[in-house]
Structure 1
Amino acid sequence: MGTDNVVRAVTVAVVDDHEVVLAGVRAWVDADPQRRLQLVGHGVRVDSVLAGPGRRADVLVLDLGIFGESMMSRIGVLAEERRVVAFSAQTSDATIRAVLDAGATAYLTKHEGAEHFIEVVAAAAQDRPYVTPSVARALLADASPTRPVLSAQEQRALKLWFQHPKKHTVARDMGLSVETVDQYISRARVKYATVGRPAPNKAAMVARAIEDGLIRPEDVR
């Protein structure tokens, strides 16, 4: 087998103030027969984990409450340099939406961890949306959105982009250039920002699309 066929494992760093959670994550990673993840850092403090090998991890899995301190205010900055997956016992719809709006690539509740952890982290590393039942409920429960008017081509570009990690695949399916696909996605972002519902990354855009009925949660899992 040539080296071109070897898929590198996604590197992961985990921050949580409960050793039982860290042990559970290690067990899930070790039990995955496909070895899709490699745990390169873990600990109870963000700064200490990112001071070591964890700083180079593809994905940072972050508990929202570390020794009573909320991590919400740090998500935006942390997400500028890496994919962030919030992993929390908090299950309120408002919290899930706020975390995704802050810049997290994904949200995973701890009671869903055993079933979805590997898939969520692997998808986040590839910039693929993965919607768990809790996230789907939170997005569908948002009754507040003012919906922008998207053109048929903008909607189609978004739907294909949600299903494929690469825009050149979207461009091929639509028979367009990558630049034109970028324009459609950018226009949709501007329209959402104009109505006060910014979508700076793919996770946020997926949330908007589910809220507005453009796609179903099961279409992006």
Structure 2
Amino acid sequence: MIEIAAIDNDRMLLEGMAAWIAKVPDIRLTATASSVADFLSQAVSARIVLLDLNLEDFSDPVDNVASLVAAGFTVIVITVVPDLSYILATTEAGAAAYVAKTANLTVLSDAIRAVARGDSPLTTEHAFWLGRDDRPDRPELTPREHEVLVAYGRGMTVDAVGRQLGIAAGTVRTYLERAKQKYADVGRPIRHRGQYTERIREDALGRERLPGSGASPPPVG
């Protein structure tokens, strides 16, 4: 028996998924949650997690995948929104598979079984989106460089970034210089303040919400 968990803020969907999965003899849905934080606070036996890409708590999809993977779970991302940047980024963050919510039960159950065997199956949709990766070269930023770059690129002052992150202004400048150098190394130099904003937009950094979700992200700072 393959035990799975599901994280989705849509209770009706979770209940429907439980009924759906109940038709599959070798897969059992044993835990559900509306957020990653809620899920990680539970003691669960399932090690495979179906994760909705677009949760309503404004959490970052990439951070959600990374947190679950770091906690030892195998993640299958499910979504109705085929957002290319997030599909690519969550795959890079360690998601083992991507399944569209429009897929049928056979596709989902096959993906679950493949992941349980240790494979990383490619659905037709996942292969299509991975094949459309036309992003510019992106530097490998550390988590702190990422935080500083996003906060500063959104218009915060160096001092304000330091206060928000609990670090000295001089340390903020150091992280910004490191990020600038990394962007220069991949041929995308940052020459003025406005290009910090351009880089976080181009690379989909710090996006709390998918486009067209109907809600605005909380203000920074």
Per the normalisation by structure 2, the TM-score is 0.55
What residue ranges of structure 2 are gaps of 5+ in the alignment? 138-185, 187-221
Once the two structures are TM-superposed, the CA of residue 17 in structure 1 deviates from its matched residue by 0.6
Correspondent of 2:32 among 38, 42, 45: 42
Q: What are the superposed Cα offsets for residues 57-108 of structure 1, whole Å, 9 maximum, x if unpaired?
A: 1201111222241332121121121101111122133321111011111111
What residue ranges of structure 1 are gaps of 5+ in the alignment? 1-8, 147-195, 197-221
Q: What are the superposed Cα offsets for residues 108-131 of structure 1, whole Å, 9 maximum, x if unpaired?
A: 111125342111122112211221
Correspondent of 1:107 among 98, 110, 113: 98
Alignment of 1:113-132 (within 5 A): 113-132=104-123
Partner of 2:164: none
Partner of 2:15: 23
Partner of 1:217: none
Q: Give the aligned residue type for 1:12.
A: I
Query: Does residue 130 of structure 2 align to residue 139 of structure 1?
Result: yes
Give the conservation status (yes or no) of the 8 Å contact 2:2–2:28: yes
Query: Matches of 2:94 and 2:43 in 1, distance apart?
Result: 23
RMSD of aligned Cα (Å): 2.3
4+ residue stretches of structure 1 with deviation over 6 A? Answer: none
Once the two structures are TM-superposed, the CA of residue 143 in structure 1 deviates from its matched residue by 4.3
Query: Does residue 2 of structure 2 align to residue 10 of structure 1?
Result: yes
Return the index of the structure with the highest Cα Rg.
2
Partner of 1:87: 78
Identity of aligned residues (%): 23
Give the conservation status (yes or no) of the 8 Å contact 1:40–1:53: no
Alignment of 1:131-170 (within 5 A): 131-143=122-134
Higher helix share: 1
Once the two structures are TM-superposed, the CA of residue 15 in structure 1 deviates from its matched residue by 0.8
Going from structure 1 to structure 2, the CA distance change for 1:130 and 1:145 (only over 3 Å counts) comes to farther
Q: Give the aligned residue type for 1:94.
A: S
How many residue pairs get aligned? The number is 136
Which piece of structure 1 moves more, 132-141 or 64-73? 64-73
Q: Give the aligned residue type for 1:36.
A: D
Q: What are the superposed Cα offsets for residues 180-204 of structure 1, whole Å, 9 maximum, x if unpaired?
A: xxxxxxxxxxxxxxxx9xxxxxxxx
Partner of 2:46: 57
Query: Matches of 2:21 and 2:133 in 1, distance apart?
Result: 33
Query: Does residue 58 of structure 2 align to residue 69 of structure 1?
Result: yes
Give the conservation status (yes or no) of the 8 Å contact 2:75–2:97: yes
Query: Matches of 1:75 and 1:103 in 2, distance apart?
Result: 7
